[in-house]
Amino acid sequence: MRILHTSDWHLGRTLYGKKRYQEFEAFLNWLAEIIERDEIDTLLVAGDIFDTSAPSNRAQELYYRFLCRVAASDCRHVVVIAGNHDSPSFLNAPKALLKVLDVHVIGNLSENMEEEVLVLNNAQGKPELIVCAVPYLRDRDIRIAEAGESIEDKEQKLLEGIRSHYSAIAAVADQKNNELEVKVPIVGMGHLFTAGGQTIDGDGVRELYVGSLAHVNATIFPDSFDYVALGHLHVPQKVGGFEHIRYCGSPIPMGFGEAKQQKCVCRIQLEHHADYQSTNVPIQQIDVPLFQPLERIKGDWESIEKRILELSLTNSQTWIEIIYDGDEIIGDLRDRLDTVIASTGIEILRVKNARIIDRILGKTQEDETLDDLNVNDVFDRCLAVHGVPDEQRPELLRAYQETLTSLYEQDVRAD
The rounded percent of the chain whose pLDDT value lies above 90 is 62
DSSP 263-291: PEEEEEE---GGG--GGG--EEEEEPP-S
Shared-domain flag, residues 253 and 393: no
CATH (domain of 307)? 3.30.160.720
2-33 pLDDT tens trace: 999 999 999 999 999 999 999 999 999 999 99
Q: Rg of the Cα trace of the chain?
A: 23
Residues 180 and 320 in one domain: no
The answer on 387 and 341 residing in a single domain is no
Domain edge (last residue) among 287, 309, 336: 287
Q: What value does the mean pLDDT take over residues 73-80?
A: 96
Q: Is the model's pLDDT at 365 over the cut of 50?
A: no
Range of the domain at 193: 2-287
- The reported pLDDT for the residue numbered 113 is 87
| Residue 411: pLDDT over 70 | no
d(CA 171, CA 391): 47
- CA pair distance 342, 21, nearest whole angstrom: 25
The Cα 352–Cα 303 span in angstroms is: 15
Same structural domain, 356 and 255: no
Same domain, 143 and 257: yes
Q: Which of 347, 368, 389 is the last residue of a domain?
A: 368
Asked if residue 345 and residue 385 are part of one domain, the reply reads no
Question: Does 276 have pLDDT greater than 50?
Answer: no
| Strands of 141-208, DSSP E | 186-191
> Is residue 198 located within the same domain as residue 77?
yes
CATH of the domain at 231: 3.60.21.10
pLDDT at 202: 58
Same-domain pairing of 319 and 412: no
- Count Cβ atoms within 10 A of the Cβ of residue 107 and give its class: 0-12 exposed, 13-18 middle, 19 or more buried: buried
pLDDT in tens, 309-363: 999 999 899 999 999 988 888 888 999 999 999 989 999 999 988 766 555 544 4
Same domain flag for 383 and 358: no
Q: Averaged over 184-202, what is the pLDDT?
A: 84
Lowest mean pLDDT among 54-68, 110-124, 148-162, 314-328: 148-162
Q: Are 352 and 324 in contact (CB under 8 A)?
A: yes
Ramachandran quadrant class, 205 (left: phi over 0; alpha: psi -120 to 50; beta: rest): beta
Looking at the fold, whether 273 and 304 belong to one and the same domain comes out as: no
Asked whether the predicted pLDDT for residue 56 surpasses 50, the reply is: yes
- What's the pLDDT band for 293 if we cut at 50, 70, 90? very high
Q: 250 and 344, same structural domain? A: no
The domain boundary, picked from 330, 353, 368, lies at: 368
Q: What is the mean pLDDT of residues 353-380?
A: 59
Instruction: Looking at the structure, tell me whether residues 64 and 196 fall in a common domain.
Output: yes
Indicate the DSSP class of residue 102: T
For residues 87-112, average pLDDT: 93
DSSP per-residue codes, 202-251: TS-PPP-SSSSTT-B-GGGS-TT-SEEEEES-SS-EEETTEEEEEE---S
pLDDT the model gives residue 50: 97
Number of domains in the chain: 3
